[in-house]
Structure 1
Amino acid sequence: MTERICSKVSCSREAVATLTFDYDGRMVALGPLGAGDDPHAHDLCAMHADRLSVPAGWTVLRHASFRTDPAA
Structure 2
Amino acid sequence: MGCTREAVATMTYDYTDKMAAVGPLGAQSDPHAHDLCASHTDRLSVPQGWVVVRHETLRA
The TM-score bracket by the shorter chain reads 0.7 to 0.9
Structure 2, unaligned stretches of length 5 or more? none
Structure ranking higher in strand proportion? 2
How does the TM-score come out when normalised to structure 2? 0.87
**RMSD, aligned CA:** 1.0
Distance 1:53 1:37 in 2: 23
> Matched residue of 1:57: which SS?
coil
Alignment: residue pair count: 57
Where do 4+ consecutive residues of structure 1 move more than 2 Å?
none
Q: Percent identity among equivalent residues?
A: 67
Higher RCO (C-alpha under 8 Å, 6+ residues apart): 2
TM-score by length of 1: 0.74
- What 5-or-longer segments of structure 1 have no aligned partner? 1-6, 66-72
